[in-house]
Amino acid sequence: MSTPPQPQTGYSRVSSPTPTAAEAQGDIYLSRTRFRHLSALNAQPEIPDLLQQWTSQSVQPPSKAAEPSQQQSKMATNTSSPNSQPAVRTGDLEILELLLTHGWDPTVTATGKSRLDQVLSNPSILRWFLAHGADPNAWCPYAVTSVTEAARSAPLDTLRILVDHGGIVVATDAVAQAVVGDVLRFPGRLEVVRYLLERGAPVDAYRFEGVGSEAVGLMGVWGMETGLQIAVRGGRGEMVRLLVGYGADGMKRGGFGTRGETAGEIAEGVGLREIGMLLKRP
């Protein structure tokens, strides 16, 4: 007599009975329970059906990255489908823990980039990723680290979490990125820039300075400007005042072209007389 197939192991306990598809539909608790049971049993095609029927507006489905028989080898080699992004961004910890049991690497995407930029809006999930080995200094898409992206767009408390877990601000373009965030009207950038400068971030670093080969193309698109030049061009008087107070070099050239412009020349060129006066004050 042949031995019946055994359920896949990896879960300490699977309670019974498994919620039916009809019971789980529209119920986030039962959907999670059904997903956990089906994963433990490696039940195909029930798992794809559950993912298709997931209806919660507050928590996205765990994605096909959790299908053991089809995706485990991909996850073990640090590869994941783009469909895994909703589970990462919504941060259902139970689902993330389940993905870990199937060999999913939470630290990088399929392209080898850090996932941390996807979870900066959720401090508890950010801490979860850091606790599972995510590097706050690893490169994310678009030539930023999670630290420099947080400087641009996240609350100061988020930036503090990253720095407390080893995030580096020294010798980065974090100040310039934070000034870009100020121009884009992300709140709290003055406090972020002050925090960065107090921890040794260079006040005169060009945006994208030190990011490697990607910098050439990015500077060609966005120009080679310091935080002060970006603040002047964006008409951000309070930011200009803060940077000047921390010793920003108003004579440093940047922008487009081989010669570039000083911050004062930018102010004059765009007609920002009051900001130009700030730059002339001793």
Cα separations in angstroms, 125 against 106, 107, 143, 202: 11, 12, 23, 29
Main-chain phi, psi angles of 13, to 5 degrees: -160, 135
CA dihedral 221, 227, 233, 236 (to 10 degrees): 140
- 44 confidence band (pLDDT: 50, 70, 90): low
> Mean pLDDT: which of 41-45, 112-116, 148-152, 254-258 is highest?
148-152
Residue 279 confidence (pLDDT)? 86
CA distance 85 to 15: 28
Please say if the pLDDT value at position 67 is more than 70.
Answer: no
Q: How many CB atoms lie within 10 A of CB 253?
A: 17
- 6 confidence band (pLDDT: 50, 70, 90): very low
Q: What is the residue type of 30?
A: L
Q: Which of 5-19, 131-145, 206-220 has the least mean pLDDT?
A: 5-19
Cα separations in angstroms, 42 against 7, 49, 76, 150: 7, 13, 17, 39
If phi > 0 it is left, if psi is from -120 to 50 it is alpha, else beta; for residue 10 that is left
Residue 219 confidence (pLDDT)? 73
Residue 269 confidence (pLDDT)? 84
CA dihedral 219, 223, 227, 233 (to 10 degrees): -160
**Is residue 117 a contact partner of residue 134, using CB atoms and an 8 Å limit?**
no
> Mean pLDDT: which of 2-6, 44-48, 132-136 is highest?
132-136
- 216 confidence band (pLDDT: 50, 70, 90): low
Please say if the pLDDT value at position 50 is more than 60.
Answer: no
CA atoms within 13 A on the CB side of 123: 9
- What does DSSP assign to residue 98? H
> Mean pLDDT: which of 12-16, 121-125, 166-170, 269-273 is highest?
166-170
Predicted TM-score (pTM) of the model is 0.70
Helix %, strand %, coil % of the chain (to 5): 50, 5, 45
Please say if the pLDDT value at position 169 is more than 70.
Answer: yes
Please say if the pLDDT value at position 55 is more than 90.
Answer: no
The per-residue pLDDT of the chain, averaged, comes to 77
Please say if the pLDDT value at position 10 is more than 80.
Answer: no
> Where do the domains of the chain lie, and which CATH numbers do they carry?
206-281 (1.25.40.20)
HEC assignment per residue over 134-189? CCCCCEEHHHEEHHHHHHHHCCHHHHHHHHHCCCCCCCCCHHHHHHHHHHCCCCCH
**Is residue 171 a contact partner of residue 138, using CB atoms and an 8 Å limit?**
no
The residue whose two tokens read 């089906």 is: 38
| Higher-confidence position of 24 and 164 | 164
Q: Which residues pair with 206 in a beta bridge?
A: 226
Please say if the pLDDT value at position 86 is more than 60.
Answer: no
Please say if the pLDDT value at position 195 is more than 70.
Answer: yes
Mean pLDDT of all residues in 15-23? 69
| Higher-confidence position of 209 and 84 | 209
